[in-house]
Amino acid sequence: MIREILNQFFIALYKLTTFPTDVNFAEAALNFQNGILDSTFVYKLQIIAAVIIVILTIGTVILSRKRKALKEKIAAQTQVLIETAEAGPLQDRWHDILRHIESVKEGEWKFAVIEADNLTDGILKNYFPGDTMGERLMNIDKTRLLSIENLWEAHKIRNRIAHDSNYFLRHAEAIRAIRMYESALRELGAIN
């Protein structure tokens, strides 16, 4: 193969350099070109190039799919980090509420229940329609929030605290209300 090409090359080169009077340069160049293009070496080279192109195309498709999957995975992990970062302040607020409920003062217990209600209402605003927490609670289907009954009961305790200045809140009742808020907040994914 290569020998044929080189042979034709040297014959054409010889004819070009000897300059006989009857030499046609165009014909010599055409013969050389046709000899190279018609050779089996070039044919095999074309087959090898076609195989390489097919392999590279398949590789590009596979890599682009893997890149897309990796990009989606990174986006999902980033979303988890964002949600965790947003949950950080909520978790801090929840720990503050728990510190208040551990106090020996009734005022601290009342504050803890009201703050737990406010925290829960802030979360519910993101998921359920309504102008007040009571309206939002009415709009919640029991299948969407399993702890809805407990949340209603805790909210009623909060309303008694907020609307009746003489209401005496027992520590056990305050703890029970806080546990009901905690159950709802965990179900909503707001706290760990």
Domain ranges, ordered by start, for the chain:
87-188
Closest CA to 177 of 161, 160, 153: 153
Q: How much is the pLDDT for 36?
A: 66
Q: Which fold has domain 87-188?
A: Four Helix Bundle (Hemerythrin (Met), subunit A) (1.20.120)
Q: How much is the pLDDT for 24?
A: 66
Q: How much is the pLDDT for 187?
A: 86
Closest CA to 171 of 91, 103, 78: 103
Q: How much is the pLDDT for 74?
A: 63
Listing DSSP states for 5-25 in one string gives HHHHHHHHHHHHHH--TT--H
User: Using CA of residue 46, residue 48, residue 51, residue 56, what is the dihedral sign?
Assistant: negative
Say how far residue 74 (Cα) sits from the centre of its chain: 5
Q: What is the DSSP letter of 39?
A: S
Q: How much is the pLDDT for 45?
A: 80
Both structure tokens of 132: 């007040």
Residue positions counted in the chain: 192
Both structure tokens of 19: 């300059």
Both structure tokens of 101: 């409920």
Kindly give the parts of the chain with pLDDT less than 70: 1, 12-13, 15-25, 28-29, 31-39, 74-87
Q: Are 172 and 72 in contact (CB under 8 A)?
A: no
Q: How much is the pLDDT for 150?
A: 92
Q: How much is the pLDDT for 81?
A: 42
Cβ neighbours, 10 Å, residue 1: 12
Both structure tokens of 17: 């350099």
Closest CA to 176 of 118, 123, 113: 113
